[in-house]
Amino acid sequence: MKKLLLVVPFAMFLMQVVAAQQAPLSVDRPAEPNMLFDDDGGKVQIVPANLAPAAPKTFHGGAVMSSVQQVSIFLGSGWGDAQVRGRQRGLSDMAGSGTADLSEVRSRKIKTMRAAPQVDDFSDLSKTTLNDLDIQRRLDQMLKSNAIPVPNASTVFVVFLAPGTTLSLGGTKAGVDFAAYHNVVHLDAGEVRYVVVPFHADAQKHATAAARAFAEAALNPTGQGWF
Amino acid sequence: MSQARRLCFLLAVAVLVAPTSLLSQCGVERWSVKTGTDPDAGKVNLASSSPTTIASLRAVPAPSPIPSNNRVSPTETTVWVINATLTQYKLENDSDYHIVISDTNGLTMITEIPSPTCVGSTSPFLSAIQNARAKFDAQFTATTSFQTANIPVQIVGVGMFDFLHGQTGVAPNGIELHPVLDIIFNPGTQTPDFIMSTTPSTLSVAQGSSGTTKISTTVAGGFNSAIALSTSGLPSGVTASLSPTSIAAPGNGSSTLSFTVASTAPTGTFNVTVTATGGGITHTATVALSITAAGGTGGTTTQLLGNPGFENGSTNPAPWTASSGVINNSASEPPHGGAWDAWMDGYGTTHTDTLMQQVSIPSNATSASLSFWLHIDTAETSTTTAFDTLAVQVRNSSGTVLSTLKTFSNLNKNTGFAQQSFDLASFKGQTVQINFVGTEDASAQTSFVLDDFALNVTTPSTTDTTPPTASVTAPANGATVSGTVTVNASASDNVGVTQMQLLIDGTLVASNTNATALSFNWSTASVANGSHSIVAKAFDAAGNVGTSSTITVTVSNGTPTTSELIVNGGFENGSTNPAPWTVTSGVVSNSTSEAAHSGTWKAWLDGYGTAHTDTAMQQVTIPAGATAATLSFWLHVDTAETSTTTAFDKLTLQVRDSSGKVLSTLATFSNLNHATGYQQRSFDVTSFRGQIIQIFFSGVEDSTLQTSFVLDDVSLQVTQ
C-alpha cells in the first residue's frame, strides 16, 4: 500500500541518516597497501594522507616510463589568489627545479625532463565534489580543445587542485584517505597518464605528496611497474 | 509491493543526503563502445547470439592498440551468451554494475550493465540494457562495495576489451561482456525469453517518402518459438510493413520495418510501437518516426514538455506539478525508460493523485501531438466497473477544464506500457495545462504509471523576411525642445529584435542589443537652434531592418547668458576694503608709480627688490551648468632684472580648492615677461564647473632687483 510509504519510512529514514552519520560508508579497498579502487573499478596507487613512507618497491613485470616530463594543470579558481599562486613556482617543475626528491626515479634510469609550460584553468569548482571520472572528463575536454598538449611517451599531467576543491576517489576522500594519486586513462588522444594532487594547507606536505605521486607515475604508470 | 515502495522512498531520500560524488555519473574510457553509441555499434549483429565460455573469450588475444571509439571485430561485434556462476557484484561510481562471473575451473571475467541513464538514446542496446538492469535489480541490490554471490547465470552481452588496470575479476586479456543485454538467473529453471531491439530507433522520413529500420530479436534461456511482429501507433497517412512479419523459431533473426509516409501525413515526431510476440511472451520497442515536410522546407518540430521522463527525480519534478509520492523510481513499478516514472494512486484506499504541466502551444502550430506511455495494474477484479480512474485533461491556465481527452480505469489494465496519443492542435495559440487526475476508491489498488511524455509541435519553418517595426515615442513629432531631452524609442518583431539604434541628424547616438526599448538623454545645447531629425532603427537576427518615421523637432535654446563671478575685479574698492579679495599688505594700490589698467586702483604684487612674497586670492563658485568659464586679467610686468634667460622673480597663477589645495597651476610669469604696458591674459576654467575654487596669484621675489607684477581688471565670465 502506497500510503505506508509516506508515514512509516520517515522514521526509518531518520534512523538511517543517524546511522549514516555514525558509521562511514563502507568502501572496498584492494589488498595491496597504498592502493585504492577508482571510479570505474580499477586500482590506483595513492600517496597516503599521512605521507607515511612506502615500503621498498618491487618490480611487477609491467611498464615503467623511460623518461618523464611534467605538465602541470593548476585547476580551480582558488589558484587565482595571488598568495596561493605563490606556490606554483615550487610545484610546476618538480624535476627541473630540484625541489622534489626524484632520486628513486633517477636510480631506475628514468630520464627526468624539465617541465613543459604549465596550464592554468581557474574554473570555479568550489561547489563541486570532483571524482576521478571528472578529472578524466576534464582532461579529455582540455585535449580536445587543445588547452593542453597531446601527451607523448614522457608526458605526465599533474593536476593541482585549488584550495576549496573537494575530491573523492572510488568513494574515498582526499585528505583523509590519500594525499595524491596517479592513474591512466585511454582517450582519443591516446594513453593519458596523470597525477592528481589535492591542495594541502601545509606547503611542504603539498609538495611532498605531489613529488611522490609524480615519481610513482613514472615508476608504475599502468599498475604493473615498480610499487 | 509496500515493502518495495518503502525502500524506494528511503533510497530516494538517501540520495538527497548523499555526497555529490556518490550520485551517479557516467564513465569516460571507451564509454561509447561500452554503451553502444560508437560509430561501429551498427556492426553488432543483434539478430543472433553465439554461445561461448569464459575460457574461450579469455583466450582471444587482446588487440593492440585498443581503439578508443571503435570496435574490434568479431569479438566486439558479437552478442555472446555465457553460462557461468555469478560470484561478485558492485555498483561502480561510473554507474555500471560490475559483475564477476566464474566458470567451474575458477576462471573469471567481468560483465557490466551500464545505467540506462548513461546510455545514449541512439544506442541499439538501450532497451536491452534497461531490461537487464531491471532483472538484476529484481534479484540483487548492488552497492558501492563488492558483495559475493554464488548463483548460476546465463549472461547475454556484447564483447568489449577493457584496459587492464587492476579490475576485480578481470580476464587477463581484458575481455568483458559490456554491455550486458540480458541476464537470466538460475537459467535451468527460468522461463525462456527473447530480447528485441531496433536499429535505428529514430527515423526521419519526409512527406511522400519512405524509410526503413531493422527489428532484431535474440533468444535466451532456451527460448524456441517463432516471434510474430506487428506495429501500432502509426500517425495518419503512414503505413508500415514488416518483412518478414515473423521471425522463425527458435527466434533469432531480424525483420525490416518500412514506413511509407503520404504527402498528406502530418509533420512531427511520432512514437511507433513494435510488438513482438512468441512463446507466450510479448515485448515492445519504440521507433521514433519524425515526419518532415516534403522538400525539406517544412516545419520545425519541437518537443514542448520539460522533464518528460521524470528523470529529474522526486526532488525536482519541475516543470511538473505532482502530488506527493507520484514521482517514483521504485522497482515495484519500473519506468518505461530511464529510472523514474509518475506512479499515480496504488494505495487501495480513497485517494487522489494529480500531475500537471503547463505549456504554450504556438499559434502557428501545424500539428500538436501529446503522447505518453501508460501502464495500469490493479487489484480490482471487476471486468465491467471502473472503480479507479485516471482522467487526462486539458485545462486553461486558470485550471478550468477545457477538454477531458480520455479517462482510463482499472478496466484498462495491461501487462506492460502502452503508448497513448492525443491531438492537441485545437489548442494552438493557448497556454494550457496537461493535467492528470487519478482517483482511487476505498479498496483494491489501481496504479496508473506514466512515463516518457512528448508534446511534439510542428511550426512552419519559414525564412524571416519580416522587418521589425521601430518608432520614436518621445519627443513628439513637431515638438520644440530645449535643454536636455529624453528621447525614447520602441521596437517589435515577429521573431525578436536583436539591436536598436537611435540616430539624430543621421548620427548614431545610442544603441542596445536584444531589447525592445531604447532611451537617450539628448543635450540639445550641443546642437544649433533649429530643426533636427530623430530616427530609430531596429534589427532582427535575419538581418531585417525596420526604420521609424522621422521625428522632426525644433531645438530652441535661449541665448546663452554670461555672468561675471569676480567681484571688485578692478580693485576699485580701494586698499581699505579689498574684499572679496584676500591680499597681502600693500598689494591693492593707487600709487601713480604703477598706473592702473583702468580706474584708479590695481593689485601691485612685489616690486621691493628684496626677498618677498605677495598674494591675492578670491574664491568663486563656478556653476555646474556652465558651458564656458573664462578667467582673464590684465598684467603689467616691469623689472630691474637684466637677465634675459633667468626667471629670478615669479608670479604664479593657480586654481585651488576651497581648502587651499592646488588643483591646477594655470601659468607662471616672471621678470622675463616684462613689458612696457598691460597685456591681457585669459584661461579656460570650464573644467572646474560645479566647484568652489580659489583664484590665487602668488608673486615671489628674490633678494635683489625688483620685479613688479601689476594686475587689474580681473574677470571670470561664465556662460550658461
pLDDT digits (tens, 9 = 90+) for B298-342: 566 778 898 999 988 888 898 999 999 999 888 888 888 888 999
- What is the C-alpha to C-alpha distance for residues A27 and B578, in angstroms, rounded to an integer? 94
Q: How confident is the model at residue B13 (pLDDT cuts 50, 70, 90)?
A: very low
Q: What percent of chain B has pLDDT over 70?
A: 94
Q: Is B350 on the interface with A (CB under 8 A)?
A: no
| Residue in B35, B93, B143, B377 to test binding to A, most A beta-carbons within 10 Å | B93
Residues 6 or more apart whose CB falls under 8 angstroms from that of B690 comprise B622, B623, B624
The answer to whether A16 contacts B96, with C-beta atoms less than 8 Å apart, is no
**Helices B2-17 and A2-22: angle between axes, nearest 10 degrees:** 40
Are A42 and A35 spatial neighbours (Cβ–Cβ below 8 Å)? no
Please compute the mean of the pLDDT values over residues B668-677 and round it to a whole number: 93
β-strand pairing of A129-130 with A166-169: parallel
Q: Is B228 on the interface with A (CB under 8 A)?
A: no
Q: Is it the case that residue B358 has pLDDT exceeding 60?
A: yes
Q: Which three cell numbers stand for residue B3?
A: 515493502
SS3 (DSSP) at B528: coil
Backbone angles phi, psi at B47, to 5 degrees: -80, -10
Q: Is B164 on the interface with A (CB under 8 A)?
A: yes
| Residue in B1, B5, B21 to test binding to A, most A beta-carbons within 10 Å | B21
Q: Which three cell numbers stand for residue A164?
A: 576549496
- What is the C-alpha to C-alpha distance for residues A48 and A178, in angstroms, rounded to an integer? 4
The answer to whether A130 contacts B21, with C-beta atoms less than 8 Å apart, is yes
Give pLDDT, residue A185.
96
- What is the C-alpha to C-alpha distance for residues A162 and A197, in angstroms, rounded to an integer? 9
Q: Is it the case that residue B176 has pLDDT exceeding 70?
A: yes
Q: Is A35 on the interface with B (CB under 8 A)?
A: yes
Q: How many CB pairs under 8 A join A and B?
A: 136
Give pLDDT, residue B1.
37
Stated as kind and residue range, the H or E segment containing A144 is helix A132-144
Give pLDDT, residue B457.
83
Q: Is B145 on the interface with A (CB under 8 A)?
A: yes
Residues 6 or more apart whose CB falls under 8 angstroms from that of B629 comprise B565, B622, B684, B685, B686, B688, B689, B716, B717, B718, B719
CA distance B132 to chain A (A): 19
Give pLDDT, residue A175.
93
Q: Is A220 on the interface with B (CB under 8 A)?
A: no
- What is the C-alpha to C-alpha distance for residues A90 and B8, in angstroms, rounded to an integer? 51
Range scoring the smallest mean pLDDT among A57-61, A112-116, A128-132, B683-687: A112-116
Residues A27-56: pLDDT tens digits? 778 888 999 999 999 999 999 999 999 889
Residues B96-127: pLDDT tens digits? 999 999 998 999 999 999 999 899 888 899 88
| Residue in A1, A3, A5 to test binding to B, most B beta-carbons within 10 Å | A5
Which neighbouring-strand residues pair with A157?
A71, A194
Give pLDDT, residue B477.
93
Cis? peptide before B250, omega within 30° of 0: yes
Which neighbouring-strand residues pair with B404?
B393
Q: Is A127 on the interface with B (CB under 8 A)?
A: no
Q: Is A134 on the interface with B (CB under 8 A)?
A: yes
Which range of B13-17, B275-279, B537-541 scores highest in mean pLDDT? It is: B275-279
Q: Alpha carbon B645 to chain centroid distance?
A: 72
Report chain B residues whose CB lies below 8 A from the CB of A184: 163, 165
Q: Is A161 on the interface with B (CB under 8 A)?
A: no
Q: Is it the case that residue A12 has pLDDT exceeding 90?
A: no
Chain A: residue whose CA lies nearest to B99 = A41
Range scoring the smallest mean pLDDT among B150-159, B162-171, B365-374: B365-374
List, as ranges, residues 657-716 from B with C-beta within 8 Å of A. Answer: none
Give pLDDT, residue B19.
36
Range scoring the smallest mean pLDDT among A196-200, A215-219, B2-6, B180-184: B2-6
Long-range contact pairs involving B243-247 (C-beta distance under 8 Å, separation at least 24): B247/B217, B247/B276, B247/B278
**CA-atom Rg of chain A in angstroms:** 19
Q: Is A23 on the interface with B (CB under 8 A)?
A: no
Give pLDDT, residue B190.
56
Burial of B164-199, coded b for 16+ CB within 10 Å and e otherwise, reads bbbbbbbbebbbbbbbbbbbbbebeebebbbbbbbb
Q: Is it the case that residue B297 has pLDDT exceeding 70?
A: no
Chain A: residue whose CA lies nearest to B110 = A41
Give pLDDT, residue B688.
93
Q: Is A168 on the interface with B (CB under 8 A)?
A: yes
Cis? peptide before B623, omega within 30° of 0: no
Q: Is A172 on the interface with B (CB under 8 A)?
A: no
Report chain B residues whose CB lies below 8 A from the CB of A35: 166
Q: Is B93 on the interface with A (CB under 8 A)?
A: yes
Nearest to B205 by CA among B225, B234, B246: B234
Query: To which residue does cell 573537494 refer?
Result: A166
Range scoring the smallest mean pLDDT among A137-141, A159-163, B253-257, B671-675: B253-257
Report chain B residues whose CB lies below 8 A from the CB of A186: 29-30, 66, 68, 163
Give pLDDT, residue A10.
42
Nearest to B700 by CA among B596, B575, B595, B584: B584
In a 13 Å sphere around the CA of B142, the CA atoms on its Cβ side amount to: 24
The answer to whether A40 contacts B9, with C-beta atoms less than 8 Å apart, is no
CA distance B443 to chain A (A): 11
Q: Is A164 on the interface with B (CB under 8 A)?
A: no
Which of A40, A43, A44 is facing B29, going by the closest CB pair? A40
| Residue in A38, A40, A137, A185 to test binding to B, most B beta-carbons within 10 Å | A40
CA distance B389 to chain A (A): 17
Q: Which three cell numbers stand for residue B397?
A: 491556465
Taking all residues of chain A, what is their mean pLDDT, rounded to a whole number?
85
Range scoring the smallest mean pLDDT among B297-311, B417-431, B476-490, B635-649: B297-311
Q: How confident is the model at residue B549 (pLDDT cuts 50, 70, 90)?
A: very high
Which of B30, B93, B348 is facing A39, going by the closest CB pair? B93
Give pLDDT, residue B462.
56
Stated as kind and residue range, the H or E segment containing B482 is none
Report chain A residues whose CB lies below 8 A from the CB of B351: 2-3
CA distance B22 to chain A (A): 7
Q: Is B444 on the interface with A (CB under 8 A)?
A: no
Q: How confident is the model at residue B20 (pLDDT cuts 50, 70, 90)?
A: very low
Q: Is B62 on the interface with A (CB under 8 A)?
A: no
The answer to whether A185 contacts B93, with C-beta atoms less than 8 Å apart, is no
Q: Is A29 on the interface with B (CB under 8 A)?
A: no
Give pLDDT, residue A169.
94
- What is the C-alpha to C-alpha distance for residues B26 and B118, in angstroms, rounded to an integer? 6
DSSP state of A63: -
Q: What DSSP assignment string belongs to A68-120?
A: EEEEEEEESGGGGSHHHHTTHHHHTTTTTSS-S--HHHHHTTPEEEEEEEEEE
Chain B: residue whose CA lies nearest to A35 = B166
Q: Which three cell numbers stand for residue B454?
A: 512528448
Are A40 and A133 spatial neighbours (Cβ–Cβ below 8 Å)? yes
Give pLDDT, residue B464.
65
Report chain B residues whose CB lies below 8 A from the CB of A141: none
List, as ranges, residues 181-200 from A with C-beta within 8 Å of B. Answer: 183-188
CA distance B23 to chain A (A): 10
DSSP state of A174: B
Residues B192-247: pLDDT tens digits? 777 777 777 777 888 877 888 888 877 766 777 889 999 998 988 899 999 899 98
* Threshold 0.80, pTM exceeds: no
Which of A20, A28, A43 is facing B145, going by the closest CB pair? A28
List, as ranges, residues 445-464 from B with C-beta within 8 Å of A. Answer: 445
Q: What percent of chain A has pLDDT over 70?
A: 89
Residues B601-658: pLDDT tens digits? 999 999 888 889 999 999 999 998 888 899 999 999 999 889 899 999 999 999 999 9
Q: Is it the case that residue A89 has pLDDT exceeding 90?
A: no
| Residue in B5, B28, B34, B326 to test binding to A, most A beta-carbons within 10 Å | B28
Q: Is B506 on the interface with A (CB under 8 A)?
A: no
Which of A25, A27, A30 is facing B166, going by the closest CB pair? A30
The answer to whether A223 contacts B27, with C-beta atoms less than 8 Å apart, is no
